[in-house]
Amino acid sequence: MKKFCALLFVIMMLLALPVSAEKVKFKDSNCNFTGYSSIYMMGISPLQLDQTDFVADYTADSKVRMTLLSAFADKKIRMEETLQENALSPKLGFDVKIYVFGYDKIWHDAWVETVNTTKTIVITKYRNGREEKETISVPDVQYVQHPAGYYYTARVDLEFNVTDQRTGRLVYSLRDTRSRGGETDTSGMLKRICNDFVKDITKN
């Protein structure tokens, strides 16, 4: 049974991509996404879908908020969380849904990996009283011991929905799903997701 589990884990690692990203996007071509100095954040919903062997980060909403604040600040746009009833109120508003934010933690048994390589051998020959060296490559098999432990995959899955505050019409929607194998840190993926979102809704 242990050998079967180890084999199954090896197959999973070979089939799994260490880094993956997927986007589903809608952008209204009739909306002007330029020329505004503030945007209204309507809310963040930390849904955190229940999944086996997944460790959720329950500080995700504050991390998303701070990362978005920074991304908008880089574009000289003020992110407001309280809507002011005046002519200077933001024309665009958005909300965020956090479907997944954390990491997978999957246990695997110890296993042995067979690595087929070649090694170079230098052979010395004597021909007509002279020394000659010849280099040849020969097959070499190495066995790498992998100890039992956990395999981690950091995962972030966010959805952004942007509406025109004057009409209530949806003008932009993005579902961005990313993962990175071998680590638990989500900060790099979160920063790229937020930067890409902000960059996209500040240009036509």
The per-residue b/e assignment along 52-83, b for 16 or more CB within 10 angstroms, e otherwise, is eebebbeebbebbbebbeebbeeeebebeeee
**Predicted pLDDT at 7:** 44
Tell me what the pLDDT averaged over the chain comes to.
Answer: 87
Q: Is the pLDDT of residue 175 over 60?
A: yes
> Where does the pLDDT of residue 9 fall: very low under 50, low under 70, confident under 90, or very high at 90 and above?
very low
Task: Let me know if residue 156 belongs to a domain.
Answer: yes
Task: Let me know if residue 7 belongs to a domain.
Answer: yes
Helices (H), 89-186: none
| Range of lowest pLDDT (15-19, 49-53, 98-102, 156-160) | 15-19
Would you call 204 exposed, middle or buried from its count of C-beta atoms within 10 A (0-12, 13-18, 19+)?
A: exposed
**Helix, strand, coil content of the chain in percent (nearest 5):** 20, 50, 30
Task: Let me know if residue 188 belongs to a domain.
Answer: yes
Give the best-scoring range by mean pLDDT among 42-56, 78-92, 172-186: 172-186
Task: Let me know if residue 47 belongs to a domain.
Answer: yes
Task: Let me know if residue 19 belongs to a domain.
Answer: yes
**What's the length of the chain?**
204
Task: Let me know if residue 29 belongs to a domain.
Answer: yes
Q: Domain total for the chain?
A: 1
Report the alpha-carbon angle 13-17-21, nearest 5.
Answer: 150
Q: How far apart are CA 92 and CA 78, in angstroms?
A: 12
Domain residue limits at 29: 2-110+145-200
| Averaged pLDDT, 96-111 | 93
Residue matched to tokens 């209530």: 168
**Predicted pLDDT at 169:** 96
The enclosing domain of 184 has a CATH number of: 3.30.160
| Range of lowest pLDDT (15-24, 59-68, 103-112) | 15-24
> Where does the pLDDT of residue 130 fall: very low under 50, low under 70, confident under 90, or very high at 90 and above?
confident
> Where does the pLDDT of residue 16 fall: very low under 50, low under 70, confident under 90, or very high at 90 and above?
very low
Task: Let me know if residue 117 belongs to a domain.
Answer: no
Task: Let me know if residue 135 belongs to a domain.
Answer: no
Q: Is the pLDDT of residue 121 over 80?
A: yes
Q: Is the pLDDT of residue 156 over 60?
A: yes
**Predicted pLDDT at 87:** 58
